[in-house]
Amino acid sequence: MRIKLLTLFPEMFAPLSASILGRAEKAGLLSLEPIDIRAFTKDKHRRCDDSPFGGGPGMVLTAQPLHDALLHATRGFAARRVLLSPKGRTLTQKRATELAKEEGLILICGHYEGIDQRAIDLWVDEEISIGDYVLTGGELAAMVLIDALARHIPGVLGDGASASEESFMEGLLEYPHYTRPAEFLGLSAPEELLSGAHKRIESWRREKMLTETREKRPDLFAGLELSFDDRVLLGLEEKRRRRSQNREANEE
């Protein structure tokens, strides 16, 4: 996937050359191309900001340099244009997975108090927020988005299965992990995981996914459609059976 990054601070993307994403770039699976918006300003002092019409605090990123940078970025590159913005739809695992299927993306990083709305109206296909808080610029948000979606590009993670088994993939949180030693400071790893019995391990993991989600993210849990097996794992089937037995006994 080819990603062009429109930013006033191209140097902020240096961390992406480390670790898994750095390897993905070297392997040609991911190409990250920061484009300096300031290089396109026609202002003689190289300014890209001005005070807001109507007054108020802060400065506004002017439309001209961003517009010209986008003309440059889109030449021969018809990619989806995403603005990182606290006003956007909150990033989810689902959206990251969908965006990972795009051949290319243009990510626009804002700065200052805001961006001249005309540049947004002219260019932006979608606004994405990484959460309900305000950052100083869109660069960190863009890096979060890139990291989240790159995991779903085939070949980026060594083990193809790892992205599909993670939290949120089925609307559930992931099960807990354990590794050697089996005993640590008197705490044992769950015997199910040490049993070597595939079915037992699967069942333990599914139960933990369900209970972790119920406990830590009741909002996610409320939206789940539980299968019969899930209900059995949660003890809900047992409770239902006992309730109906009690009801029948009371009716007799």
Catalog residues that contact ligand SAM under the rule CB under 6 A.
84-87, 109-111, 113-115, 129-131, 133-138, 141
Closer residue to ligand SAM, CB minimum distance, 87 or 118: 87
Are 100 and 156 in contact by the 8 Å Cβ rule? The answer is no
Closest to ligand SAM by CB, 29 vs 59, is 59
Q: Nearest distance from residue 183's CB to ligand SAM, in Å?
A: 43
Min. distance of Cβ 189 from ligand SAM in angstroms?
A: 38
Q: Please state the closest distance from residue 171 (CB atom) to ligand SAM, in A.
A: 23
Contact 145, 102 (CB under 8 A): no
Closest residue to ligand SAM using C-beta atoms: 110
* Closer residue to ligand SAM in complex, CB, 96/109: 109
Minimum distance from residue 113 beta carbon to ligand SAM (Å)? 5
Residue 178 tokens, joined: 């354990």
Q: How far is the CB of 94 from ligand SAM (least distance, A)?
A: 17
Nearest approach, Cβ of 138 to ligand SAM (angstroms)?
3
Q: Which is nearer to ligand SAM, 136 or 179 (CB)?
A: 136
Closer to ligand SAM by Cβ: residue 30 or 84 = 84
Q: Which is nearer to ligand SAM, 22 or 86 (CB)?
A: 86
